[in-house]
Amino acid sequence: MKKLIALCLIALVANCAHKHDRNSYKTFGTKVFKETDANGDGVFTKKELLDRNKKSFDKTDANHDCKITREEAKAAGREKQFDEHGKLVKKGYYTCKESFAVQERHFAEADRNHDGKVTKEEHKKYFLSKKGKKDDDNN
């Protein structure tokens, strides 16, 4: 019985890890796309992206000083995102203004046809290019 419970726990943990694989478009990229496409029309605009970013920033910025420190990011389970801001974190924090600038740059890169909207296909290509992939093994 103990072996069965242990095997079930291992399977559950492995399944959870797969569902949140930040390198897979199917498991992580589609989740991000759905969360960003606030009105569910199959595309997202820069406004939708920045609104999502603001909500996420506000949740992470525990003391609401418009700065996210490594400690705040770690407490919110977002230390990896903190590290992804690269040179911004050399000073030990990044601001909401810097975070928005990063998101605006991401949007401009993802919106390949420059129509002011990012389709799921554009998002997938952008996501995979950032991961150094041409295709997702888990489409």
Per the listing, tokens 């799921």 go with: 120
Q: Is 82 exposed, middle or buried (0-12, 13-18, 19+ CB in 10 A)?
A: buried
What class, spelled out in words, does domain 22-130 have in CATH?
mainly alpha
Quote the pTM value. Answer: 0.74
φ, ψ (nearest 5 deg) of residue 128: -65, -35
pLDDT computed for residue 21 by the predictor: 63
Query: Using an 8 Å Cβ cutoff, are 46 and 53 in contact?
Result: no
- For the chain, the structural domain boundaries read 22-130
pLDDT computed for residue 67 by the predictor: 93
pLDDT computed for residue 14 by the predictor: 42
Mean pLDDT throughout 87-105? 86
Q: Is the pLDDT of residue 47 over 80?
A: yes
Q: Is the pLDDT of residue 2 over 80?
A: no
Mean pLDDT throughout 54-69? 94
CA distance linking residue 58 with residue 63, whole number of Å? 9
* CA-CA-CA-CA torsion sign (44, 96, 81, 104): positive
Q: Is the pLDDT of residue 60 over 50?
A: yes
